[in-house]
Amino acid sequence: MRFFDTHAHYNDEVYDIDREEVLKKIRESGVEYIVNVGYNKVSSIDSINLSKKYDYIYSAIGVHPHDVENETAQDIYNVYNENDNKKIVAIGEIGLDYAFVKDNKLKQIALFESQIELANSLKLPILIHSRDAALDTYNVIKNKRAEYGTLFHCFQPSDDLVRLVLENGYMVAFGGNITFKRNEAFKKYIEQIPLSQIVIETDSPYLSPEPYRGKRNDSSNLDIICKKLSEYKGKDVEEVAEIVYNNAVKYFNI
Ligand SMILES: [Zn+2]
Ligand SMILES: [Zn+2]
- Taking the centre of ligand 2 as the mean of its atom positions, its distance from the CA of residue 160, in whole angstroms, is 23
Ligand 1 centroid, distance to 90 Cα (angstroms) = 14
For residue range 1-60, what is the model confidence (pLDDT) as tens digits? 999 999 999 999 999 999 999 999 999 999 999 999 999 999 999 999 999 999 999 999
- Find the 153 Cα to ligand 1 centroid distance in Å: 7
Tens of pLDDT along 157-181? Answer: 999 899 999 999 999 999 999 999 9
Ligand lying nearest the CA atom of residue 217: 2
Q: Model-level pTM greater than 0.95?
A: yes
The three-state (H, E, C) secondary structure of the chain, written as one string: CCEEEEEECCCCHHHCCCHHHHHHHHHHCCEEEEEEECCCHHHHHHHHHHHHHCCCEEEEECCCHHHCCCCCHHHHHHHHHHCCCCCEEEEEEEEEECCCCCCCHHHHHHHHHHHHHHHHHHCCCEEEEEECCHHHHHHHHHHCCCCCCEEECCCCCCHHHHHHHHHHCCEEEECHHHHCHHHCCHHHHHHHCCHHHEEECCCECCCCCCCCCCCCCCHHHHHHHHHHHHHHHCCCHHHHHHHHHHHHHHHCCC
243 C-alpha to ligand 2 centroid (Å): 23
Give the model confidence (pLDDT) of 194-223 as tens digits.
999 999 999 999 999 999 999 999 999 999
28 alpha-carbon distance from chain centroid: 22
- State the distance from the centre of ligand 2 to the C-alpha of 40, rounded, in angstroms: 11
154 CA to middle of ligand 2, Å?
8
| pLDDT (average), residues 76-80 | 98
Name the band, by pLDDT with cuts 50, 70 and 90, for residue 101.
Answer: confident
Torsion, Cα of 57, 224, 202, 239 (10° steps): 60
**Ligand approaching nearest to the C-alpha of 129:** 1
The sign of the CA dihedral 231, 232, 234, 236 is negative
C-alpha 165/C-alpha 174 separation (Å) is: 14
From ligand 2's centre to the CA of 9, what distance in Å? 7
The fold of the 3-251 domain, in CATH, is: TIM Barrel (3.20.20)
Collect all residues with Cβ–Cβ distance below 8 Å to 198 and sequence separation of at least 6: 171, 172, 173, 174, 190, 229, 243, 244, 247
Average pLDDT value over all residues in the chain: 96
Domain segments of the chain as ranges: 3-251
The answer to whether the beta carbons of residues 119 and 62 sit under 8 Å apart is no
CA of 214 to the centre of ligand 2 (A): 16
Residue 102 has what pLDDT? 73
